[in-house]
C-alpha cells in the first residue's frame, strides 16, 4: 500500500508537470506526445483510485521523493536549454527518466497484486504499465527521429569552442550552458 500511495502521488505530480514540459518543447510531435500522455496519466490517477478500492483501502498519497527529484531535474533541464535546439532532446531525457521509474514501480505493483490474488488490481496495474512502456517507446522514437540529431548539430557548431570531451555520441558535449545552476558530482559535462 505504501508503494501504491507513492505512485498515486507521483501520477498527480506528473499531471501537473506534463503541460509545462509540452510548453517548453519546440517540436510539435513531442508536444503532442506529452499532451497525449497527460490524458493517459489523468487516467492512471483514476485507475490507481480503483486499485485502492480493490484492496478495500482508503485512497491516499505519500510523497514520492523520487518523482519530486526527477521533476525538479526536468525543470532545471528545461531552464538550462530554453531557446536551444537541444531543448527537445533534454525534455525527452527528463521524461524518460520519469517513465523508467514508473515502469519499474508498476512492474513491482502489478506483480505484487497478482501474488496477493487481486486479479482486478493486477489487471489495472498492467494497463498502466503497458501505457508507460508505450510512452517511453514514443519518446525513444522521437529522440531517434530528430531531437538527438538536432542537439548533436548544436554541439558540432560549438565543437571548436569546447573540446574538453570529444567522445562520439556524447550529446552533452558543447551544449551545456556555461552558467548552469546545476551542480552534479561526476557530471559528464565536466
- pLDDT over threshold 80, residue 189: no
What's the pTM value of the predicted model, to 2 decimals? 0.78
Q: Which domains does the chain have, with CATH numbers?
A: 2-153 (1.20.1260.10)
Average pLDDT (132-140) is 95
Burial letters for 58-96: b for 16+ Cβ neighbours within 10 Å, e otherwise? Answer: eeebeebebbeebbebbeebbebbeebbbbbbbbbbbbb
| pLDDT for res 8 | 98
| pLDDT for res 150 | 66
What does the pLDDT look like over 3-35, one tens digit per residue?
A: 999 999 999 999 999 999 999 998 889 999 999
| pLDDT for res 172 | 41
Average pLDDT (55-68) is 96
- pLDDT over threshold 90, residue 45: yes
What's the 3-state SS for 110-149?
A: HHHHHHCCCHHHHHHHHHHHHHHHHHHHHHHHHHHHHHHH
Contacts of 40 (CB under 8 A, 6+ apart): 131, 135
Average per-residue pLDDT in the chain? 82
Query: pLDDT-based confidence at 144, cuts 50/70/90?
Result: confident
Higher pLDDT, 92 or 78: 92
Average pLDDT (136-151) is 80
- pLDDT over threshold 80, residue 180: no
Average pLDDT (61-80) is 92
Amino acid at each position: 500500500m505504501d508503494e501504491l500511495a507513492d505512485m498515486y502521488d507521483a501520477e498527480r505530480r506528473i499531471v501537473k508537470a506534463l503541460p509545462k514540459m509540452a510548453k517548453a518543447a519546440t517540436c510539435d510531435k513531442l508536444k503532442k506526445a506529452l499532451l497525449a500522455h497527460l490524458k493517459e496519466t489523468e487516467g492512471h490517477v483514476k485507475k490507481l483510485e480503483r486499485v485502492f478500492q480493490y484492496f478495500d483501502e482508503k485512497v491516499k498519497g505519500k510523497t514520492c521523493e523520487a518523482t519530486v527529484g526527477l521533476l525538479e531535474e526536468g525543470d532545471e533541464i528545461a531552464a538550462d536549454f530554453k531557446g536551444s535546439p537541444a531543448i527537445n532532446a533534454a525534455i525527452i531525457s527528463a521524461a524518460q527518466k520519469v517513465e523508467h521509474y514508473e515502469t519499474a514501480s508498476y512492474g513491482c505493483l502489478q506483480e505484487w497484486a497478482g501474488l496477493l490474488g487481486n486479479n482486478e488490481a493486477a489487471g489495472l496495474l498492467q494497463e498502466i504499465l503497458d501505457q508507460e512502456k508505450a510512452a517511453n517507446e514514443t519518446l525513444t522514437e522521437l529522440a531517434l527521429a530528430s531531437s538527438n540529431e538536432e542537439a548533436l548539430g548544436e554541439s558540432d557548431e560549438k565543437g571548436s569552442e569546447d573540446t574538453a570531451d570529444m567522445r562520439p555520441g556524447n550529446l552533452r558535449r558543447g551544449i551545456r550552458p556555461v552558467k548552469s545552476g546545476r551542480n552534479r558530482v561526476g557530471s559528464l559535462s565536466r
